[in-house]
Structure 1
Amino acid sequence: MSAREWMGKDFYKELGVSSDATADEIKKAYRKLAKENHPDANAGNVTAENKFKAVSEAYGVLSDPGKRKEYDEAQRLFGAGAGGFGGFPGGAGAGGFDMNDIFGQAGAQQGGFGGLGDILGGIFGRSARGGAATANRPQRGADVETDVRIDFVEAVKGATLPLRLSSPATCQTCGGNGAKPGTSPRTCPTCGGSGLVSRSQGAFAFSEPCRDCRGRGQIIDDPCPECGGEGISTRTRTLTVRIPPGVDDDQRIRLAGQGEPGRGGAQAGDLYVRVHVAPHKLFGRKDLDLTLTVPVDFTELALGTTVTVPTLEGKVSLKVPAGTASGRVLRVRGKGIQKRDGSQGDLLVTLQAAVPAKLDDKARTALEAYAEAMKGNDPRPDITELLEGR
């Protein structure tokens, strides 16, 4: 994409966030819009597909701190959508100031414009220290994020899942060069492949992206019918994702090089898979430990017993000592979550006294007899003394 095209876009508006939005706000807005306009959910909807591409492009810039800083600086200097470069000579078509030529050396000598030269050099594709024009330099592909949902057992033990993903990818028809099969792009004769054209007027140098090749350095006479000459098209692909044992809910897994393809031979971005874990009807989790609450009868706690409880591998028997209080936690070693590094948690079993909602006559009579036998055995001595003022 040429500098002029880049400058004419409002990436914040595309995502519906303010220019001072935090990284989390930008990510949240992108995820919402990408989900709403995802090609899988909008088959045949060209408007949704274009919106999906637009928000992906915006997120690719605003999610990268370096690119976002460069973009923000450019917007402050020139203004988005102005049709030119902020009123500088040539903004309407005669060619913009080569600000890097003006400020690049001055910044190195006087210390006043070095940062500005670097920023503008990045925008116009020129070296901040007077290097050769590189408007068509390679650009790393944007990162992509998607979501998967797994059950509790898969999160504990790990799983291998197929992931169907629709996203921008290297066009399979043209191999990414943008030209119709059987043809090739040719070097732009106007700019000689640099992507920039320069002019001199007195003491000033002017440069702008080449109009003939739109800053790419190459001209495609016969564009690829699939991607329209962009070299990138939206396609559906299936990846195999390995979920490691012990993955947490909302954790992200990085698949290097599986994001959007780079431009000009640059490396592809990364794919981040956000994992959502469904809760289990019995088990909970605390770090590497599994938790389980087991209802027990009062008499079992008072007299002692042996209870059988489930684990993710089978079942185990636990001895409950006589006089055990409700809420006590028994630990079963080695029955928690085991990670690949060898660390392993336990199963924590909480004993909870079950109180019957209704009693038949026989049970009521027995409990009343028990209550009578327990008179004088105050279970709340400290509270009793406080109430009596002692």
Structure 2
Amino acid sequence: MDFKDYYKILGVEPTADDKAIKTAYRKLARKYHPDVSKERDAEEKFKEANEAYEALSSPEKRAEYDELRKYGQHGRPFQGPPGWESRGGAGAGGGFAGGDFSEFFSSIFGAGGRGNGSPFGRGQQQRSAGRRGQDVEMELAIFLEESLSSESKQISFKVPQYNGHGQRTGDTTKTLNVKIPAGVTDGERIRLKGQGAPGIGGGANGDLYLTIRMAPHPLFDVEGHDLIITVPLAPWEAALGTKVAVPTLTGKINLTIRPDSQSGQRLRVKGMGLANKQGERGDLYAQLKVVMPSQSDAATRELWTKLSEKAGFNPRAQWSS
């Protein structure tokens, strides 16, 4: 198996902090999402970015990966340090079958319980007739907007095929239209009965399990069923008040900024967040952030000087004893 440099895949340095890793992943996930990207290898790159983020977003996994990274080079066979034993075991594939992680990932962190090469699924190793088909698991990435949609989402996945003796004969690609339930959250597991591998000798079909992954959004952060958006304001907008067209998942709203607003202040917009299981929506919080122009000329600085003298404001007055 080839070594994978997860830092290189995300385009960050090994010293990058959690925020930089999350930001890099968001950009790649948005760029290569199979539903929007037209690039030839978009699906493969999307899965690679997911796998890299899975390894680097967890402090424990990242520490373990960093230790092993000393012994690998990107694109070259990976053997591991002396005395190292792969956790992948039987059933760790070389690619991304049905949403599974790569062989390299599974060799470090384990296969995650995703199949074991048996046609009968977990705990059913016997190859007798009339056995239930293998369950299939895959990750399904959805945009925040899709969690509010009533339309079905088309998915494709690979289903293993076995003959009457329980011997694997290959894979077939299956396509389904799936209705995303209201209120789904990141990491939620959905069961689609009978959509897995066919049974053997007349046995029942296995099931399909979808693990929901909410694709990061370039504008919104998620807190439960609430959404957070940062609203940049010029200093004069915060001081004098203004109206700002703020994006939501279903369009734009005009948000009133009161005079003398403070950076970091949150304004609540009721019912513009994500839906819960009952179909009720959380709230949108607009977090104000005062930003300065990146450059100013002499005339502008003179005006700032006059304003500071006129205002007589000391923002650190509370420091005085």
TM-score by length of 1: 0.49
SS for the counterpart of 1:36 is: coil
RMSD: 3.6
Q: For 1:33, which of 88, 92, 117 is the aligned residue?
A: 92
CA contact (8 A) 2:191 2:210 kept: yes
Q: CA deviation at 1:259?
A: 1.7
Q: Secondary structure at the match of 1:326?
A: coil
CA distance 1:39–1:355, shift in 2 (3 Å): closer
Larger Cα Rg: Structure 1 or Structure 2? 1
In structure 2, what residue type is equivalent to 1:33?
A
Partner of 2:56 in structure 1?
none
- Aligned position for 2:80: none
CA distance in 2, matches of 1:350, 1:136: 61
Code of the aligned partner of 1:139: R
Hey, what's the Cα distance between the residues in 2 that align with 1:30 and 1:352?
50
Matched residue, 2:147? 155
- Measured in 2, the distance between the counterparts of 1:338 and 1:305 equals 30
User: What is the correspondence of 1:178-193 to structure 2 with a 5 Å cutoff?
Assistant: 178=164
Gap change, CA 1:325 and 1:266, over 3 Å in 2 = same
Partner of residue 289 from structure 2, selected from 345, 348, 352: 352
- Partners of 2:134 and 2:196 within 8 A in 1: yes
**In structure 2, distance between residues paired with 1:155 and 1:310:** 17
Aligned to 2:307: 370
How is 1:213-224 mapped onto 2 (pairs within 5 angstroms)?
none
Give the secondary-structure state (helix, strand or coil) at the position aligned to 2:177: strand
1:253 to 190, 212, 229: 190
2:308 counterpart SS class? helix
Corresponding position of 1:143: 135
Number of aligned positions between the proteins? 223
Partner of 1:379: 315
Inter-partner Cα distance in structure 2 for 1:316 and 1:234: 48
Q: What is the CA-CA distance between 1:268 and the residue it aligns to?
A: 2.2
Aligned residues of 1:30 and 1:59 also touching (Cα < 8 A): no
The 5 A counterparts of 1:1-390 are 29=88, 33-34=92-93, 36=95, 38=97, 56-58=115-117, 64=122, 67=123, 136=128, 138-157=130-149, 159-169=151-161, 178=164, 234-339=171-276, 341-375=278-312, 377-385=313-321
Name the CA shift for 1:31/1:374 in 2 (closer, same or farther; >3 Å): farther
Question: How many angstroms does 1:156 deviate by?
Answer: 4.1
Shift of 1:136: 4.4
Percent of aligned pairs with the same amino acid: 34
Superposition deviation, residue 230 in structure 1: 5.5
Tell me, in whole angstroms, the C-alpha distance in 2 between the residues paired with 1:243 and 1:235: 24
Letter of the 2:238 counterpart: L
Displacement of 1:157 in angstroms is 3.0
The runs of 5 or more residues in structure 1 that have no matched partner are 1-24, 41-54, 72-122, 124-134, 172-177, 179-227, 386-390
Q: Secondary structure at the match of 1:263?
A: coil
* d(CA) in 2 for partners of 1:35, 1:248: 29
Q: After superposition, what is the alpha-carbon deviation per residue over 1:116-145, rounded to whole angstroms, capped at 9, x for unaligned?
A: xxxxxxx8xxxxxxxxxxx94643322211
Asked if 2 retains the 8 angstrom alpha-carbon contact of 1:158 and 1:247, the reply is no
Contact 2:98 2:138 in 1 (8 A): no
C-alpha displacement of 1:288? 1.2
The answer (yes or no) to whether the contact 1:57–1:142 under 8 Å persists in 2 is no
* Distance of aligned partners of 1:30 and 1:324 in 2 relative to their CA distance in 1, 3 Å threshold: farther
Helix, strand or coil at the partner of 1:330: strand
Equivalents in 2 of 1:277, 1:31: separation in Å?
A: 30
CA shift, 1:308, in A, is: 2.2
How far did 1:261 drift? Answer: 2.7
CA 1:313–1:255 in structure 2 vs 1: closer, same or farther (change >3 Å)?
Answer: same
